[in-house]
Amino acid sequence: MRDLLQGNRRGRLIDWLKIDSSIDSGLYGAWIGFRDWWSGYSSFFGRFEVKGFVRALNELACEGLTLSVAGLLVLATFALPAFETAQGKINLADEYSVTFLDRFGNEIGKRGLLRDDSVPLEEIPDVMIKATLATEDRRFFEHFGIDVMGTFRALAANARNEQVVQGGSSLTQQLAKNMFLTPERSLSRKIREALIAIYLENHYTKPEILKLYFDRAYLGGGSYGAEAAAQYYFNKSIREVNLPEAAMLAGMFKAPTRYAPHVNLAASRARANEVLSNMVEAGFMSEGQVYGARMNPAKIVERGDGKTPDYFLDWAFEEVQRLMRGKEDHILIARTTVDLGLQKSAEDALEQTIKQFGRSRNFDNGAVISMETDGAVRAMVGGKDYGESQFNRASHAYRQPGSSFKGYVYLTALENGFTPESSVSDGPVSCGRWAPKNYSGGYRGRMTLRMALAKSINTIAVKLSLQAGREKVLANLSKMGIKHLKKTCSLALGDNGMTPLEHTGGYAVFAAGGLEVRPYAVEEIKTLTGGDVIYNHERDEPPRKQLFEPKVIEQLNTMLQAVVLEGTGKAAQLDYTYSAGKTGTSSAYRDAWFIGFTGQYVTGVWLGNDDFTPMARVTGGSFPAQTWHTYMMAAHDTDNIAQIAGLPVHPVQAAEQARIAATLAQNATADAEVVAPAPESVKDMSSATRQVLEKLGAMLKDARPLTPGDAAGRPDRAEAPPAPKPSLASANGGDPAEPQPGTPPAPAEPQTALSAGRDNAASPH
């Protein structure tokens, strides 16, 4: 070893002391250098030190800069999705032009390219442009999308009058709201509206934005855009409108339904006078120039009430775009599933409820969706007023279903060994640190599943979801096409958002005996020119699958019937056929539901407020169930109603069937061929038959009334036919349980749905 360390081959030892010294001296030198730099840095900036009032301003400026950066980050979080929304939708409606027919082949409306884009801005009369800008946005060509001065002016005016008398939104903001956003009254929506307005201003010129506004605005009567409105109200192109007509059209931008001349001619003309005054105030015209328009207001073309199923048409247009994606034909005719008779009944039922009880019970909107048990949507009401808001609450509003969600939980429990007569204890239960409570605040002990669902017991629903498995509940919903829900402790109490359309479609599976149901709006699509059938629902859709065992569905239906007969849904009882369904109320009374069905129709009703403010203790068993009852009484115009799977025939229907059987037997013994006429609904008549009957009715109305003397000398005159037998839907004088107009609703059994973030809270259902 020594030889290796000495001589020519001797290695050199590591000098650890030298390395340590180098490290120490290096660190010391670095510290001295940093200290000198810091001293120089402090001395340099010390010359800029401020004191007193100047320092306070400096601190405020620094804090303001910090808050501005944070605000920009917050704005960015809103801006990115807002810009994506704008980019995705700006040209969506231009891809297709669709003429829609109802289920019987009658034209009911149009959507797409041909509705309003046919007239270039250069050909729109100057009076129309001036009337619009004078009323909606006088500084349109001066601001960057947000009229700051106009906003402050509106705030000041509203403060002086202690109410909203002026709107602060620019024309670009209105376009952003109408095209891309919901009517939700929230700060986040206003921020997105402002950001999209800035986006539009940076991607389109002022004339292009003005053209979009003229083309996309809803102006009542199912008319989108100034051209369509001019054709509808005045039977002329927008190119030809005069000053009074332009003033009337411009006045409808604010509230098309309220100021539509077919709805309220006096209000429409008064609004047109306001527009003329605005034109004078803005300096666009003199008082002498508008005097003639004031003295000779616009005259409209009589077109009846002009009501069209606009919410349904918007949804059907979305369906057409989905079905035709990737295909070349864009000018189409689509025959839909809507039944205008049922549509009107649904609109009337919702309107009556909101008008009668909305103000006193603090709710101002709702939705109704009604479909056949195969998913064919016959009526869709997406809100109380399409002119006020085109946002479709039936197909796009995600609201908490509350206890109406329990139907899916009980379905899963029945699949996993429980029966309607299984006994379960109503007692404390917890999921992690969360524990549900019943609305009554106490517990009722052991009871059957049937009674637990009828009385909407929260603790038992949560127990079933935990024992059967929340994953299995979500898997069953996924089978029905509802795949966006999340696993939470309060899943059983309906804490996830669902649209009325998909929720009603889920209950349609129960009404269909467990068969797959996909709500649909389009029966057939043809090309406009050749009439070629591009799509047919029966031909092109796959066969429906059996999603659940019929026995399980029959058991569930008997339980849902108990909800109506002896539970929270008593207001939905029908006196001529059995019904089944479930009530639901979300936490703090923000949402109230009734989803129910007969053997013919599945109908869902939702009531609430767009801004999610609580209602005045409105539960699903009160006004939603009453609205459902009102609609279903009008919807069933035939005695031929199918039997709900698992339920017996209603006594009224059984008696009618027995009467028909007895008549057939009596005629058979008399050796007479008698064929019992199949009950026929007027809705099943062809359009030609209906037209003939309508003409006949008009002729009878115009005929000279008979006097007693006319019958003298006519011994061979035929006797008057007996009075027609009333249908089962009107038997027994209607539902005795239905409250009379103005009468407070009968108290319903409370139910609860807890939102995910509200532990140990209970609310009624």
pLDDT digits (tens, 9 = 90+) for 413-467: 999 999 999 999 999 999 989 999 887 778 889 999 999 999 999 999 999 999 9
Say yes or no to pLDDT of 189 above 60.
yes
| Domain membership flag for residue 5 | no
Q: Which residues contact 346 (CB under 8 A, 6 or more apart)?
A: 368, 370, 379, 380, 381, 631
Residues 418 and 559 grouped into a single domain: yes
Q: How far is CA 359 from the centre of its chain?
A: 20
Residue 693 is assigned to a structural domain of this protein? no
pLDDT of residue 760 exceeding 70, the answer is no
Query: Are 215 and 351 part of one and the same domain?
Result: no
Provide mean pLDDT across the span 342-361. Answer: 96
Position with higher pLDDT, 733 vs 520 = 520
Highest mean pLDDT among 256-270, 614-628, 687-701: 614-628
In a domain? residue 697: no
Residues 33, 45: Cα–Cα separation, whole Å: 18
CB 555 within 8 A of CB 421: no
Distance CA 591, CA 764 (A): 10
Which tokens is 158 given? 């509203």
Residue 765's pLDDT band (boundaries 50, 70, 90)?
low
Is-contact 642 714, C-beta < 8 A? no
Q: Which pLDDT belongs to residue 312? A: 97
Catalytic-labelled residue, pool 136, 201, 319, 656: 136
Sign of the torsion angle spanned by Cα atoms 122, 124, 127, 129: negative
The reply to whether 268 and 369 lie within a common domain is no
Residues in the chain: 765
Residues 360 and 234 in one domain: no
* 337/102 Cα distance (integer angstroms): 6
The segment with the largest mean pLDDT, out of 636-640, 653-657, 741-745, is: 653-657
Q: How high is the pLDDT of residue 255?
A: 85
| H/E run at residue 592 | strand 591-597
State the pLDDT at residue 586: 94
* Residue 262 DSSP SS3: coil
* 188 is annotated as an active-site residue: no
- Match 């996993």 to its residue by tokens: 416
Per-residue pLDDT band for 739 (boundaries 50, 70, 90) equals very low
Q: Mean pLDDT across the stretch 191-215? A: 86
Both 32 and 133 in a single domain? no
| pLDDT given for residue 290 in this prediction | 92
C-alpha 358/C-alpha 615 separation (Å) is 9
Buried b vs exposed e over 192-217: b needs ≥16 C-beta within 10 Å?
bbbbbbbbbbeebeeeebbbbbbbbb
Same domain as 463, residue 579: yes
Q: What is the pLDDT of residue 28?
A: 87
Q: Are residues 175 and 248 in the same domain?
A: yes
Domain assignment present for residue 199? The answer is yes
Rounded to whole angstroms, the Cα distance separating 19 from 23 reads 6
In a domain, 163, yes or no: yes
What's the rounded mean pLDDT across residues 568-582? 95
Q: Determine, yes or no, domain membership for 253.
A: yes
Give yes or no: residues 416 and 516 share one domain: yes
pLDDT band at 232 (very low <50, low <70, confident <90, very high): confident
Shared domain for 570 and 623, answered yes or no, is yes
Domain that holds residue 413: 346-521+545-635
The mean per-residue pLDDT over the stretch 602-616 comes to 96
**pLDDT for the residue 224:** 80
Q: Are residues 200 and 97 in the same domain?
A: yes
Closest CA to 507 of 426, 418, 588, 569: 569
Residue 730 reports pLDDT greater than 50: no
Nearest to 314 by CA among 228, 218, 424, 198: 218
pLDDT band of 594, cuts 50, 70, 90: very high
Strands 445-448 and 423-426 come out as antiparallel
Beta strands in 206-252 (DSSP E): none
CB 112 within 8 A of CB 319: no
d(CA 121, CA 132): 13
Instruction: Answer whether 261's CB lies under 8 Å from 248's CB.
Output: yes
Cβ(506)–Cβ(545) under 8 Å?
A: no
User: Do β-strands 522-527 and 445-448 pair in parallel, antiparallel, or remain unpaired?
Assistant: unpaired
- Does residue 304 share a domain with residue 382? no
Q: Are residues 263 and 357 in the same domain?
A: no
**Average pLDDT of 308-315?**
93
Please list the alpha-helical segments (H only) found in 470-593.
Answer: 470-479, 500-511, 537-540, 550-566
Q: Kindly report, residue by residue over 5-37, the tens digit of the pLDDT.
A: 455 544 557 788 888 888 888 888 888 888 888
pLDDT in tens, 144-178: 888 777 666 655 655 555 554 455 688 888 888 77
Query: What single letter denotes the amino acid at residue 387?
Result: G
Q: What is the pLDDT of residue 143?
A: 86
| H helical segments located in 238-304 | 243-251, 256-259, 265-281, 287-295
User: Would you say residue 459 lies in a domain?
Assistant: yes
Pick the last residue of a domain from 609, 635, 661: 635
What whole-number distance in Å separates Cα of residue 565 and Cα of residue 560? 9
What are the residues whose beta carbons fall under 8 Å from the beta carbon of 580, sequence distance 6 or more? 510, 511, 557, 560, 561, 563, 564, 596, 597, 644, 647
Residue whose structure tokens are 């169930």: 625
The kind and range of the H/E element at 148 are helix 148-161
pLDDT digit string (tens) for 50-101? 666 766 777 788 878 888 777 766 666 655 555 555 554 554 444 678 999 9
Confidence of residue 113 (pLDDT cuts 50, 70, 90): low
Question: Is the model's pLDDT at 469 over the cut of 70?
Answer: yes
Selected catalytic residue, list 223, 345, 389, 403: 403
End-to-end CA gap in the chain: 93
Closest by CA to 145, choosing from 197, 193, 78, is 197
Can you give the CATH number for the domain in which 276 is found? 1.10.3810.10
- The answer to whether position 294 is within a domain reads yes
459 three-class SS: helix
CA torsion 65→70→76→77, rounded to 10°?
-170
Query: Residue by residue, what is the 3-state secondary structure of 496-526?
Result: CCECHHHHHHHHHHHHCCCECCCCECEEEEE
pTM higher than 0.85 for the full model? no
Number of Cβ within a 10 Å radius of residue 527: 15
How confident is the model over 362-403, as pLDDT tens digits? 999 999 999 999 999 999 999 999 888 889 999 999 999 999
Separation CA 600–CA 379 (nearest Å): 14
Cα separation, 704 vs 722, whole angstroms: 22
Which contiguous run of DSSP H or E holds residue 411?
helix 406-415
Q: What is the mean pLDDT of the chain?
A: 82
The Cα–Cα gap between 445 and 216 comes to: 59
Residue 718 is predicted with a pLDDT of 33
Integer angstrom CA distances of residue 455 from 406, 440, 504, 604: 11, 11, 21, 20
Q: Is 403 a catalytic residue?
A: yes
Structural domain tally of the chain? 3
Residue with more model confidence, 721 or 593: 593
